[in-house]
Every structure is written in structure tokens, then in C-alpha cells.
Structure 1
């Protein structure tokens, strides 16, 4: 196992307000709804192309984007990578960015909206349960494995934030994935149970009771209660600045301002907490025997989750923790100097194992 820290390009100065201005052009009128910098605006022959697709997963229609490499030829064989988006995110944000960047490296990639979320089907909306999020990753593997040109024996996976925790869960049993990577991994079960940075340890059972009451309400009245809902229209720079931790403060700016998408929301059904709070991404993580790369920013206040999972992943003989110096959790989603370093690392990792 290896541990490396990548130094940031000297002299980088970044503010969230600068980011908002710099990305404005990329978030307006994209025909595919993509809201990341450098996003494809139209398909050009001989370049990386995007292909909106739909497929069935457990009786529900999943909305996804497939990215194909430059000079794609369906008669050739390409390695492929499944990309799982963060909690609250959609395929048009950071998952799409990394899927496009990997396609530039010669991979066929797929980023799909989670079931019950984004443009995918499923009722009640905003259901966020580990089983379904894990199935979403298996489902992307099902679909992309049969896509023209894909070599199903060279399939990798990248999970970002909450998608990283669910990717670890999927990889325990899904040995179709020959290489497993996470970026800014977020253990949703741990955070919903203990609070972010273990800030709610004294109220676990009380919140479990609230989740149980919400499920009872659903069963008796058909009404769904939501948690985590934020009115993005009401967000101001002042209100955002008062958020004490980096992840949620910068996340409010990313999701509510600079990379806002109409399908993206922090909301989840309160009853989902019954499953979320009793779930743990690192349970039986030793079942992962594939090569494992876990990446994060050195300044991320969520780093403790990546470090804990990395330490517990004792079943693989090939694992590496890769930190980019100076990056916070949300900055790994879009800051070019940071993204370039993570993509370079993924190039080496997938190049070696796929």
C-alpha cells in the first residue's frame, strides 16, 4: 500500500466569487444541461461525444449520459468507467466533468442520475436509500457492459462524495469492476447517524424515532416528509458565509450558485434515515480485493471518512491514498488545478489496471 501527497501548483489563489464569474459562461444554455467548465455543447465528429440514454433498472427508467472517446469506433474495444455522483448531485455536475475528462483519455464512461432522483424515475421523489444507490452502480455496469465498443473485462468505477461510499459498497460484491476509485468519499450512513464530524452523537435514537414517525406518516396518510431541503433561491453570500464547516458552506455555493442545476437538491425523504442511519459504508469493506485508489483534498474536513475506509480496506494488496495538497472537499469537484491532478492520477491508475 502507498501514500502520496501531491503538491499544488505554486501561487494558486481561488475564491468562490471568482469561480462563479469564471463558470458563468459554461452554465448558460447548454443543450445537454451540463453545468461544469469545459462541458460539451455539441457533438463534433472525431472528438469526445456525449450520448443521452435511458435504460431499465428494476422496472424504472434511468437517465444517463454516455461519453465516447475521440474517433470512437463501435467496432473497436475500449475500457470503460462507471461514475457515481455525490449526494444531492446529478449527472450534469461533477460526475459529468470526470466522465468527460476520462473519455478524453480513451475510456467510454457513463454517469447516471440515481433512482428516485434527478431525471430518473422513482416515487416517492428524493428517496435516498443505500440499497437503491448501490443498485444504481450495478445498473450502470449492466448497461455500459453491453454498450457497443466496450470491453466488459476492462471495467472500472469512480465514486464521488456519497457516490464514493456507495461505490465501496458495490465493489464488495461486484467483481466486474477491475479497478475501484473514490474521490472525496462521503460515508452517508455514518454522517446521517453520527452527524457531520460526529457532531450529533447524543441524538441518534431521537432522530431514528423521527425517521420512524415519518415512515408511519407515509403509511397512514401517503404524505412524505423531507429532510435536508434548502431553498437555493433564498441563499445569500452572507447566509452561506455563516455555515461553519467547509463542506456545507462551499457545497451551498457549488450547488446553489456556481454549478446549480434544476434537478439537484439536498432534500431526501425523512423515512430514508431508517436505512441510512443503520448503514455503514465500511462494513465488510475487506471484501474489496480489487485495486483501490482513494483520493481527496488534504484540507477537506471530510477527509476523516476516506482515511477510515482506507485503513479498513485490508482485503486488497493494491491500495493507495492520494491527497492533493490544499484542496477542500468541494474544490475537488471543479477547481482546474485540482481536477487536473486527480485526472492525471486516474490516468495512471486505470491505465495500469484496465
Structure 2
């Protein structure tokens, strides 16, 4: 059942529209069922379903494991070829927010496997090939737990040195990664790339621009949406993510350029081919992620962000709040999505050196 929006000016929703609470746009968007998989699904092949080329320097296999809430997560495990009998340092990798393991996180995992690490890229709960109902919903608690569940999995593998496990979080999963490492003392080092603090942006808007009145209006709309969802017996979803109508901010154009073109499109990705539930922001609105960021120390943290990224302030304020040892690397000329897949922008040498000395 489709429900017409009450306010036409709020009907438009693109990649980050669900986060731009400054216009209180989240709850008043067009309430529709999730779109069907598009014709681009032909890109997904039986042998290799990633948006990046397969490396002949790594072994790959699909794996699954459960998190603490009993949700089965799906992952792609990458191992260096000719690794011998020595136990390997290992990395748990996820993100961006609304992406799947066949996109950016898989590229990072495969590249780090080429450099001698066991690396798993995984789909968070409720997305991609991972379990959980309803689909396409996020949780600051459950998605933080997903990282620790990946650490559980890695630590049980006979080829992994469980005392040398690190985490990489990308975009919105950068904030989740930092949150997970603050409480999971098994993790020895963490990298957050082009990081978003999803609780901050959903509750305060970009650059903390949301007023109390706007926040209250959004919460009233989200609360009433729950009645509609309860009446239908299923959550309503917004329009497909990252559709462009013209006149959008450049960062929204950049998201479209990754998720909606052959560069990064994947049929299972929320950002490429679907949408979040309308009420998705609720649990983010009063549950800040990074309150305990200081407790990552004395384990080292590396934050990486693009000089031109609209989201750069998230890493800068997280860096200021964190304790030593910490590093902040700003990539000249890079925007937010450049660090998803641009090999000439992503500082893999710096990331490798960081984990080599930290794990």
C-alpha cells in the first residue's frame, strides 16, 4: 500500500536525504514499498559478484557467522595466497552505511589480503546477504555488535592470530567501528575512513544545524509513522536512494556517481537499489556513538578523510575527542566517496604500515 506524503516539499529523498533532518524531511517522505531489483542486476555474476576486479593474489570464500543477537551475518573472507603455516594478523571490515560487502569494504579487504592480512568484509545485520527482519534497517547497538561478531569469527580461525586483530570502518561504519573498539578490548587497532558519526548527523543534521524545534517536529513525524507501520503490519520505505532530479548538493551527486553507475552499483546495496525504512533514524536520535572514544586508548587509532569531503568535520571532532595514540590523515583533493574505491587516493600503504606496527 502506498501512502501519499502530507507535504509535497518533503517528498524528495536521495542518498543522504534521510539524514538531513534540518528540513525534518525524514518522516514526511513518500511512503512506498521497496523498489524491485533493477536491470543492473545482470552485473552480478555467479562467479564474481563484486564491483571491483578479482585479485589473483588472494584466496576468497563466502562465510557466515552469528552475532550476539542471533542474527546470521554474511561475509567474504580474503586470504593471501601462499600464506604458509604462520598465523596471520586479521581485519574485520564493513561500510559504507547502506553499502554491501561487494562494494567498498570488499575492495579494502581484498587489498589488505594482498598485503598479508586475513580480512573479512561483511554485510551488517538487516542488509545485503545478512539476516534480520525487517530489511534495510540499521541500529547503532546491533551494528556495533556486528563488528565484534566478525572479531569472534576471525579469532576462531586456525590461520588467524587472535591477538593481532584490527578493524576498518568506512563512512557510517567508521563511527560504528570506533564505538565497537571502545568496548571490545580484543581489538588491537582501528582505522576509520571517510567517517560518519551516524547518531550525530541523524539527531543534529549536517554541521549540527538542526534546531530543537526541527528535531521535535521530526520525532513527532517518526512517532506517528509507527502507527502507520503498525496498522499495515510492516514498515514503510522511502523512495530509492541516490536518485537525482537536478539541483542537488555536490556531495549527493558524488554519491550518485558511485552507487548508481557501473563504478559502484550493486543490486543488493540499499544505496544503489533500495531505501531505508522511514523510521530508521529513531534509535539513532538519542543514542550517541562516540561518548567513550577515549577508551580506545592505549590502542592506536587512525582516522583518514578527504580534504574536500563534506563529512570531514566528523573525523576532525572525533580526533580532537580521542586520546593518544591517534593519527589523522587528510588526503589532498579527495572528496567523501573518493576513499570508497579510488586506488590513487586511498592510502593503503599508510594503512598497511599502521596495522603492521600495531598488530
Give how far 1:137 is off: 0.5
Structure 2 residue 120 is the aligned partner of structure 1 residue 116: no
Q: How does 1:132-151 map to 2 (within 5 A)?
A: 132-151=142-161
* 8 Å Cα contact 1:67-1:100 kept in structure 2: yes
| Closer, same or farther: CA 148–126 of 1 in aligned 2, 3 Å | same
Partner of 2:307: 298
Query: 1:140 & 1:276 partners in 2: Cα distance?
Result: 22
Query: Which of 183, 189, 198 is the matching residue for 2:193?
Result: 183
Q: How does 1:89-104 map to 2 (within 5 A)?
A: 89-104=99-114
Query: 2:189 & 2:287 partners in 1: Cα distance?
Result: 24
Give how far 1:56 is off: 2.2
Partner of 1:84: 94
Query: 1:72 & 1:62 partners in 2: Cα distance?
Result: 26
Secondary structure of 1:323's match? strand
The alignment covers a number of residue pairs equal to 311
Partner of 2:292: 284
Q: Which has the higher helix share?
A: 1
Give how far 1:332 is off: 1.0
* 8 Å Cα contact 2:124-2:146 kept in structure 1: yes
Query: 1:138 & 1:106 partners in 2: Cα distance?
Result: 22
Query: Which of 212, 215, 220 is the matching residue for 2:226?
Result: 215
Query: 1:330 & 1:279 partners in 2: Cα distance?
Result: 26
CA RMSD for the aligned pairs? Answer: 1.9
* 8 Å Cα contact 2:62-2:74 kept in structure 1: yes
Partner of 1:352: 357
Query: Which of 332, 351, 356 is the matching residue for 1:325?
Result: 332
Query: 1:349 & 1:163 partners in 2: Cα distance?
Result: 19
Q: How does 1:1-354 map to 2 (within 5 A)?
A: 29=45, 31-36=47-52, 38-40=53-55, 47-57=57-67, 58-73=69-84, 75-201=85-211, 202-227=213-238, 229-230=239-240, 235=243, 239=245, 242-246=247-251, 248-257=252-261, 258-266=263-271, 267-289=275-297, 290-314=299-323, 317-339=324-346, 342-354=347-359
Query: 2:207 & 2:74 partners in 1: Cα distance?
Result: 33
Secondary structure of 2:188's match? strand
Query: 2:208 & 2:66 partners in 1: Cα distance?
Result: 38
Secondary structure of 1:156's match? strand
Query: 1:350 & 1:297 partners in 2: Cα distance?
Result: 20
* 8 Å Cα contact 2:308-2:334 kept in structure 1: yes
Normalised by the length of structure 1, the TM-score is 0.83
* 8 Å Cα contact 1:245-1:301 kept in structure 2: no
Secondary structure of 2:54's match? coil
* 8 Å Cα contact 1:85-1:161 kept in structure 2: yes
Query: 2:293 & 2:130 partners in 1: Cα distance?
Result: 29
* 8 Å Cα contact 1:39-1:97 kept in structure 2: no
Gaps spanning 5+ residues in structure 2: where?
1-39
Query: 2:241 & 2:357 partners in 1: Cα distance?
Result: 44
Secondary structure of 1:254's match? helix
Secondary structure of 1:181's match? strand
Secondary structure of 1:151's match? strand
